[in-house]
Amino acid sequence: MLNKQSLTVAIVSVLCCAAVQVDGAKPAKGGGGGNHIQRGIQLAEEKHYDAAADEFGKAIKENPKDSRGYANRGTAYRQAARTAIAAGDSEGASTRYQAALADFAKYIELAPKDASGYTEHGQTLSELKQYDAALADFNKALEMKPDDLNTVKFRGFAEIGLNQWDKAVADFSAVIQKKPDDLQSYDRRALAYRSMKNYDAAIADYTFLITKNPNDMEATTKRGYTYSLAQQYENAIADYQAEIKVNPQDNDTFQRMQYAQSMLAAKNASPSPTPPIASPTPEEKRMMDKINPLYIGIGVVALLIIAVIVRLLTRGKAEPTSHRIR
């Protein structure tokens, strides 16, 4: 059974820009199925994904050698899986994801030179957090079609999942170079930069997103967090305050702001002076001098010398006798 939270995170943070795309219906070579494909596309556009998958399944039965049916049904299954996750049905999501993988595998089998089959299969694996296998699919697709920016971008998502931050930065930068308004690539690249502790670069990407959309509170909060990591607490507090002004019930951001405020206060606090050691008074000094260990030692030696002299003077002297007559 799939973990609902992990899948939700994967979809939101990795593939939230990916929309359902089904191939246009063309008469299939050597068979029918075109009407079912058309109907499936219509149902998918209406967000009836399971019903769409059923229609694509009918097209497959009429023409099992047409790779389009598998591609379309796999896409419908994948979107149905996302819908199941949103509804809290992780078991239903798991079943649909596995069906999507099977359809995309069949797509690859029927059209092995079509790069999109590997991209779709890899994208589904990414949503299941199977990043190593997804990366292999994306690399295979890019061998066939090196300039496919969507595949480069999806590979960047998988690299983030594998903590390959420098590679992710390179892929998202390649996308941004060709598509400078691809906002999601800026967001993901900022995450990779931040994970590399390149805070200035991450802040620049978040600032670009905010410039493009001043009401993007998510980017503002992420920039605030990055400022906090960079110990730029004043800037972090300003971003957090902007978010809280819009969303007063955002307790997470409120707690982050409190942390930044406490760290700023500690940073600005003057170090406590070390209290001076009081000098002894003249009387205390005289008392200390009197009990100086050196003086004690001298006194002990003097006593020993006196004892020795007395012993020498009394050695061999007769004891006094009594003059009393008995």
Residue 25 has pLDDT above 70, yes or no: no
Q: Once rounded to an integer, what is the mean pLDDT over residues 254-272?
A: 89
Q: What is the pLDDT of residue 312?
A: 60
For the four alpha carbons of 288, 294, 296 and 299, in that order, the dihedral sign comes to negative
Contact 128, 98 (CB under 8 A): no
Token pair belonging to 34: 């075109």
The tens digit of pLDDT for each residue in 178-216 reads 999 999 999 999 999 999 999 999 999 999 999 999 999
* Burial category of 214 from C-beta neighbours within 10 Å (exposed 0-12, middle 13-18, buried 19 and up): exposed
160 closest CA partner among 124, 140, 134, 198: 134
47 closest CA partner among 22, 23, 27: 22
Alpha helix positions (H), the chain = 4-14, 34-45, 49-62, 67-86, 90-110, 115-127, 131-144, 149-161, 165-178, 183-195, 199-212, 217-229, 233-246, 251-268, 282-290, 293-314
pLDDT confidence tier of residue 284, bands split at 50, 70 and 90 = low
| Distance in angstroms (rounded) separating the CA atoms of residues 152 and 189 | 13
74 closest CA partner among 53, 91, 55: 53
| Distance in angstroms (rounded) separating the CA atoms of residues 246 and 161 | 31
Contact 118, 108 (CB under 8 A): yes
79 closest CA partner among 130, 43, 116, 39: 43
Token pair belonging to 17: 């820009």
pTM for the full predicted model: 0.74
Q: Once rounded to an integer, what is the mean pLDDT over residues 222-226?
A: 98
Helix axes 4-14, 149-161, angle to 10 degrees: 140
Helix H, strand E, coil C: the string for 123-163 is HHHHHCCCHHHHHHHHHHHHHHCCCCHHHHHHHHHHHHHCC
| Distance in angstroms (rounded) separating the CA atoms of residues 160 and 179 | 20
Return the higher-pLDDT residue of 277 and 325. Answer: 277
Q: What is the pLDDT of residue 24?
A: 41
pLDDT confidence tier of residue 22, bands split at 50, 70 and 90 = very low
Return the higher-pLDDT residue of 279 and 23. Answer: 279
Residue 32 has pLDDT above 60, yes or no: no
pLDDT confidence tier of residue 276, bands split at 50, 70 and 90 = low
The tens digit of pLDDT for each residue in 33-67 reads 679 999 999 999 999 999 999 999 999 999 999 99
Residue 264 has pLDDT above 70, yes or no: yes
| Distance in angstroms (rounded) separating the CA atoms of residues 89 and 183 | 30
Q: What is the pLDDT of residue 303?
A: 72
| Distance in angstroms (rounded) separating the CA atoms of residues 240 and 223 | 9
Return the higher-pLDDT residue of 23 and 271. Answer: 271
